[in-house]
Structure 1
Amino acid sequence: MEMNLVLIGVFFLVMGYLVGVKKQTWLLAGYNEKRVKDKFKLAQLVGSTMAILGILLLICGLIGTKQTEYLIMFAVAILLMEIVYVNAKMVE
């Protein structure tokens, strides 16, 4: 069991829940409510992405995947692509 992946996965799941379900968008770095076109859509998109990545990392950590650096790079790449998408499509 890879404990670091489990901890990161749990963190992502909690963040996904807080942002996606509870709409706690203030947790997002650089969030400016005045510039966002649709706060609800932003919360759903970011929350679901964080939850999916959290589940993936949690499962991989529990089964003992040894290639943690590739999984972390994959998660960071997905989050960076999401940042570009959000800034291009959802921010004025």
Structure 2
Amino acid sequence: MIKETIILGSFLLISGYLIGIKKATWLLAGYNEKRVLDKDKLATIVGITYAILGAILLLTGLLGLPFAELFALIAVGIIVLQIIYVQIKMVR
């Protein structure tokens, strides 16, 4: 069991739920809400990504898999790439 990966996975899973299902886009930082073209699409894309990454991190942490820390770094990289995508494609 890897505590850090479990904590990060739980945080991402909860954030994914709040952003994707409850449409709490105020949790997202780094963009001006007035400039976003489609807030529902933003919430859906980010929520699904966070939920999937959170579930995988939570499972790898609970199972104690040896590559859990590596996947956590990959997950952070995916989130950074998603931030760049949102800034380029969804913000005017």
TM-score, L = length of structure 1: 0.93
Q: Distance in 2 between matches of 1:79 and 1:28?
A: 12
Q: Distance in 1 between matches of 2:69 and 2:59?
A: 15
Which residue of the partner structure matches residue 3 of structure 1?
A: 3
**How far did 1:67 drift?**
3.0
Which residue of the partner structure matches residue 30 of structure 1?
A: 30
Coordinate RMSD, CA, aligned: 1.0
Asked whether the 8 Å contact 1:8–1:57 carries over to 2, the reply is yes
Which residue of the partner structure matches residue 62 of structure 1?
A: 62
Gaps of 5+ in 1: none
TM-score, L = length of structure 2: 0.93
Please list the CA deviations of residues 24-64 of structure 1 after superposition, one character each: whole Å capped at 9, or x if unmatched: 00011123221000000000000000000000101101110
Asked whether the 8 Å contact 2:5–2:69 carries over to 1, the reply is no
Residues matched between the structures, number: 92
Asked whether the 8 Å contact 1:2–1:66 carries over to 2, the reply is no
Asked whether the 8 Å contact 2:31–2:87 carries over to 1, the reply is no
Letter in 1 for 2:71: L
Report whether the alignment pairs 1:16 with 2:16.
yes
**How far did 1:70 drift?**
1.0
Alignment of 1:36-47 (within 5 A): 36-47=36-47
SS in 2 for 1:34: helix
Q: Which runs of 4+ in 1 moved over 6 A?
A: none
Report the identity percentage.
53
